[in-house]
Structure 1
Amino acid sequence: MSVLTELEQAIQLVENGEVESGLQKINDIKEKANHAEKHEIAELYIKWGLLDEAKVLIDELVLLYPDEGQLYIDRAEIAIDLEEEEEALEYLLEVKEEDTAYVQALFLMADLYQMQGLDEVAEQKLLEAKKKAPNEVIVDFGLGEFYLSRGDYNKSIPYYERVLKEKEDIGNTNVHLCLAEALSTVGKFEEALEHYEKGLTNRTEIHALFGFGFSAYQIGEYGLAIAKWKELLELDQDYPSLYLYLTHAYENEEMLEEALNTAKKGLAVDELNKELLLAAGKLAIKRQIPEEAEKYLRDAVSIDPGYVEAVVTLSKFFIQQERFEDMVDLLEHVIQFGEYDPQFEWDLAFAKNELEIYSDALKHYENAYTALKNNPTFLEEYGKFMLEEGQHEKAKEAFELAVKIDGSLVHLQEELLRLEDRT
């Protein structure tokens, strides 16, 4: 019986679950195997994770064939699996430029250098491979993957496009989906949708489904985004960021009940998600559920007192409710935490004016003035307050600035004429 026949029998034993018998048979025959057969046995050992056994055989063959590049590739891959990166590099550097395995060696070196954070060296190796094999699809794919992983999305796009002229799949990777991710990230959402559609035709990948939905969302195709994200929810109910985006998509479609329910489901998954709490609070306001709105907004501020949008939204909610004392308590509490925004000063000024604490209101208006003097709405409110305080010159200055910014404020122009008549 030939060695190859016995080897086939050994492989069959292993594949049938009789691992110990199969490995013993291989051990028995490898001493009489020729060099090519020993190489095949080594590759089997590598496939099965028996790296020490593979290493012994490859080392033996390297001594016999010191110019055979593929042996150095095999030995380097074993070293990589054993986390011996420096040793792996030493083996790869032994592969000669004229060897058919040289391009593969460059690829492996690029991976190792990238793992070590030496991206520029890794890029040089890949570009060298491109020069050596300019028409090789796997080289273009490798460059696309390298640039994508590094965040150089624009650079990755032409390489993926070249690959797609010949292949749609490389190994377990769909090239359409890689290209779609790159296109979406650089804002080419409509082009990305085409490739997401093609890439997801015969497969389902949760990250690609999210990307598909995100690209659709960015160009206002909210119905399509919702459909893709609902597919994703069926596969993974804990997917990061999904609930927030799906909430906003429903809201943009004026499906407020679905939007609020989605936000609630997201909060059941991540109760500390301040963005979802804010979204839920805003939706509860729209749906006229004030108790829920206040709870969600307070929770968002409690998690992050510096979350300005949540603070301002809750402050405006208190204005709607005419709860000016609660508004003051909120804003002063946030400021005590060291958080600050000019809008806080404006809201405090408004609230304290309503509460007839005029001296404090004046202080807050003046504090806000420097940052908000380009806001005509603030300037109008500030000017009216100054009129009430009898400070006509400051009122006039505020109205003039407001009119300069927004010439449509005819009523303020008329107010300025009245102020001129008084002087």
Structure 2
Amino acid sequence: MKQQWQTQLDRAIALLEAGDIQGGLETLASVRKHQTDDPVLGLQLVNIYHELGHHDAALDILEEMEKDQKEWGNEIQQEMNVYRASLYIDLDRLQEAMDTLLTIKETGTDDYRVYALLGELFLIEGLEEVAIRYFEQAIEMEPNNEEIQYLLGKLYAEQGESERAMEKWQMIEGFEEEAPILHERARLAARQGDFEAALTLYEKLGEDDSDTEALYGAGMTAYQIGDWQRAVRHLARLIEADADYIAAYPLLAEALWKLDMHEQALVIYQRALSLHIEEEKLLHGYLGFCIELGKWKEAEAGIARLRNLDEDDPIYWYWQGRLAEARGETEDALAYYEQALDGGEVVADAQQRYQNLMRH
């Protein structure tokens, strides 16, 4: 006969899965009073709260179980300690996590989770080589764990070891269609300079308009190999899918400019600037285009926006100089460039432009 608490727990899980978070949490709270009587219930509760991101609540349950525990045996004790270490990591209590895991490891455990968590800890500390050794030990114990296989492949790829990365990923069922792996393979190919292979992978991923990272990767890679039309196609799809993906706008504008579609390039910059996101970075490319096309009013408006952002920024004076130089107002341009260089900073090519004007 199913225990009453299990019926309540099943109901709590059903409520949570149905999206009734408040109802699920209230039902869980009513179940918690039974936790010290049954370690199986306690560990189930720890797992549920952990997955919900309620790490403090999960840790509280473990501490209550330990305080009131009966003779539950080594297996339950180790399970509690593994959960405790995982929670410590999530709570950024890394030294406590390390101490807990090393204590378990010293008992000669064959629990792959202990080694996977040690790998995670060393990865957080930036010690990738040590992390990889622990992940390899974990996968020896649990060879069918696809999450660890994927992570190992990712780490090898980041180190440029493409063959070892592929060896891990090929252990994952259907790896040729797995989006995370395709992303990693595309990034690896791009890092190795195989842009055509990277573009093929990104385009496969980019068939789904919701994969904005893939669309950006495809646009960026096409731009890198000088295929401006493909770059425009992918980047235009990207900003239609996500208008706030600000990094796509300058790249799209530059690709349009390369295709001599100058007015369209300006429109893309203007659309991006209307979002008021990362204005200063966008204004540099936009002002360069405006000055190149002799659109003085647009340039003046853009420079005014720079002034509003920070009138003391040398880059503001630099663009004043660029505009004056383009208009043939040499004396004004020299004065503006002097302002830009006044603080001794390297401001774009202000020094070179100033010297060129002085020579002529």
Q: Give the TM-score normalised by the residue count of structure 2.
A: 0.75
SS of aligned partner of 2:221 = helix
1:346 aligns to 2:356 (yes or no): yes
Distance (Å, rounded) in 1 between the aligned partners of 2:338 and 2:12: 76
Out of 86, 90, 102, the residue aligned to residue 77 of structure 1 is: 86
Match of 1:244 among 236, 245, 250: 250
Is residue 2 from structure 1 mapped to residue 2 from structure 2 by the alignment?
yes
Deviation at 1:104, TM superposition (A): 2.2
1:107 counterpart SS class: helix
Amino acid in structure 2 at the alignment position of 1:266:
A
Q: Tell me the distance in 2 between the aligned counterparts of 1:135 and 1:290.
A: 64
- Alpha-carbon deviations, 1:34-77, whole Å to 9, x = none? x5455434433434433112443377489621697544322212
Structure 1 residues 6 and 306 mapped into 2: Cα distance closer, same or farther (>3 Å)?
closer
2:2 partner amino acid: S
Letter in 1 for 2:118: M
Q: Of the candidates 57, 65, 71, which is equivalent to residue 57 of structure 1?
A: 65
Find the aligned partners of 2:169 and 2:70 in 1 and give their Cα distance.
36
Describe the superposition over 1:78-133 as per-residue Cα deviations: whole angstroms up to 9, x where unpaired. 333343322222222213686442x3222211222333344454344335446666
Q: Which of 1 and 2 has greater Rg?
A: 1
Cα offset for 1:270? 4.0
Partner of 2:117: 108
Structure 2 segments unaligned to the other structure (5+ residues): none
2: CA distance, partners of 1:54 / 1:79: 12
Output the CA distance in 1 between the equivalents of 2:41 and 2:277. Answer: 60
1:260, CA displacement in angstroms? Answer: 0.3
Displacement, 1:261? 1.0
> Is 2:10 the partner of 1:11?
yes
Whether 1:46 and 2:45 are equivalent positions in the alignment is no
Q: Secondary structure at the match of 1:238?
A: coil
The CA distance in 1 between the partners of 2:326 and 2:87, in whole Å, is 64
How far the C-alpha of 1:295 sits from its partner, in A, is 5.0
Shift of residue 26 of structure 1? 2.8
Q: Say if 2:121 is the partner of 1:122.
A: no
RMSD, aligned CA: 4.0
Q: Secondary structure at the match of 2:210?
A: coil
Matched, 1:276 2:282: yes
Q: How does 1:249-264 map to 2 (within 5 A)?
A: 249-264=255-270
- 1:220 correspondence with 2:226: yes
Q: Which of 23, 26, 29 is equivalent to 2:28?
A: 23
**Structure 1, unaligned runs of 5 or more:** 351-423
**Percent same amino acid among aligned pairs?**
22
Deviation at 1:7, TM superposition (A): 0.7
Structure 2 partner of 1:362:
none
Number of equivalences: 340
* Preserved CA contact (<8 Å) 1:267 1:273: yes
Q: CA deviation at 1:222?
A: 2.3
Q: Does 1:199 align with 2:205?
A: yes
Structure-2 residue corresponding to 1:89: 98
CA displacement at 1:163 relative to structure 2: 0.9
Q: What's the offset of the Cα at 1:204?
A: 2.1
Mapped partners of 1:203, 1:262: distance in 2:
20
Q: Indicate which of 140, 149, 155 corresponds to 2:149.
A: 140
Number of the residue aligned with 1:330 = 336
TM-superposed deviation, 1:190: 1.7
For the Cα contact (< 8 Å) 2:98–2:118, is it kept in 1? yes
Contact preservation (8 Å) 1:226, 1:249: yes
Three-state SS of the structure 2 residue aligned to 1:2 is coil
| SS of alignment partner, residue 214 of structure 2 | helix
Residue-by-residue CA offset, 1:175-195 (whole Å, 9 max, x unaligned): 212222333344332212222
> How many Å separate the matches in 2 of 1:76 and 1:244?
45
Which residue in the other structure is 1:183 paired with? 189
| Distance 1:95-1:201 versus aligned 2 partners, 3 A rule | farther
Which residue type is aligned with residue 163 of structure 1? W
